[in-house]
Amino acid sequence: MDRWELIIIGGGVAGLTAGIYGSRSGLKTLVLEENIPGGQAAVAPIIENYPGFPYGISGMELVDRMLRQAERMGVKIHQFEGVIRLDLHGDEKIVETEKTAYRAEAIIIASGSHHRRLGVPGEEELQGRGVSYCAVCDGPLFKGKRVAVIGGGNSAAVSAIYLSNLASNVKLIHRRDQLRAEKVLLDNLRERNVEIIWNTLVKEIKGKSRVEKIILLNNETGEISELNVDGVFIQVGEEPNSKFAEEAGVRVDEKGYIIVDARQRTNIEGVFAAGDVTACPIKQIGTAVGQAIIAATEAFGYIKRPYYYKG
Ligand code: NAP
């Protein structure tokens, strides 16, 4: 079995940052990524709040820079190698993937999150045929068409703004009378002429071979209506990719997010977690980077036990 000092599960912003710090501190470091590196940040149209980029940077460009930096530091990255099982009981941790198994002295779980489903009829059947969870990936397919974005958070607002450059008509549909998205995004939405439909739930997505319309319920008046659209972008939050960790005994909260202390330690010695998979309530690239730096620094201390390390 291949032996590593540090294995990082997930190659998004948190995983790449942990890799940079782990490798730079001299640890033999492996990042396992079930897809291609980059995670959710890679599909952010524009990132305006990560320090150092006064005019913003695309998610793709930012993660590409992080990836090149990690590789330059000597991090080994295995893409398309998802983790299916962990054995965390012994001093050596065993990480089983779809391809093989590895031993590690410490691991950092940075497996991120996935898009929450709306859970309405038509959503699953029409996915890829008008139903999308990623504006950057699928937006260009809706050039000159009518789209609806569902949700009231930052992701929904950013998606609606991005789509307003492509689609002929963008409606943002939210179940409340106010958004939780940041004010700067709200101002931007207004400027972009995105119409917001308040207090409204999507009850069904309809269409024969592609999305044709959505059925809406106004939760104040009880009125049911139809809206003709070509695309539906669902942005109703995230759920953590933590099942494999929970099954191995890592403690999670009631929503499945991994519980960590201020040093990014989980309940199991030698197992750390960082980024969107953790219970940190602020899901930002900056917080993922910060958590990953702490996790990798703590993992180094745990493995090498320098004189100043407080175990
Ligand atoms: P979020 O902040 O959790 O917002 C999810 C939105 O979807 C909420 O408005 C919620 O409504 C709504 N929602 C949830 N379930 C629903 C359902 N079944 N039907 C209808 N609406 C539903 O999620 P997010 O926008 O994906 O963002 C995730 C995290 O990433 C957040 O921490 C966010 O700040 C961060 N993020 C940051 C940026 C940025 O800084 N530029 C960009 C993207 C994401 P309620 O409001 O009623 O709960």
Please indicate whether residue 180, judged by its CB atom, sits closer than 6 Å to ligand 1.
Answer: yes
Domain ranges of the chain: 2-115+238-304, 131-234
- CA pair distance 254, 36, nearest whole angstrom: 29
Q: What percent of the chain has pLDDT over 90?
A: 98
Catalytically active residues, by annotation: 134, 137-138
Output the CA 101–ligand 1 centroid distance in Å. Answer: 36
Output the CA 301–ligand 1 centroid distance in Å. Answer: 36
User: What does the CA dihedral 152, 158, 163, 168 come to, rounded to 10 degrees?
Assistant: 50
Output the CA 34–ligand 1 centroid distance in Å. Answer: 24
Question: Which residue's alpha carbon is nearest to atom 41 within ligand 1?
Answer: 154
Q: Which atom of ligand 1 is nearest to the CA of 236?
A: 7
CATH class of 131-234: alpha beta
- CA pair distance 176, 155, nearest whole angstrom: 16
Output the CA 272–ligand 1 centroid distance in Å. Answer: 26
Q: Which atom of ligand 1 is nearest to the CA of 185?
A: 41
Please indicate whether residue 153, judged by its CB atom, sits closer than 6 Å to ligand 1.
Answer: yes
Nearest in space to 309 (alpha carbons), one of 95, 106, 31: 106
Superfamily of domain 2-115+238-304: FAD/NAD(P)-binding domain (3.50.50.60)
* Domains 2-115+238-304 and 131-234 fall in the same CATH topology: yes
End-to-end CA distance of the chain: 28
* pLDDT over 90 (residue 310): no
Of residues 160 and 45, more confidence is placed in: 160
* pLDDT over 90 (residue 166): yes
Rounded average pLDDT over 194-203:
97
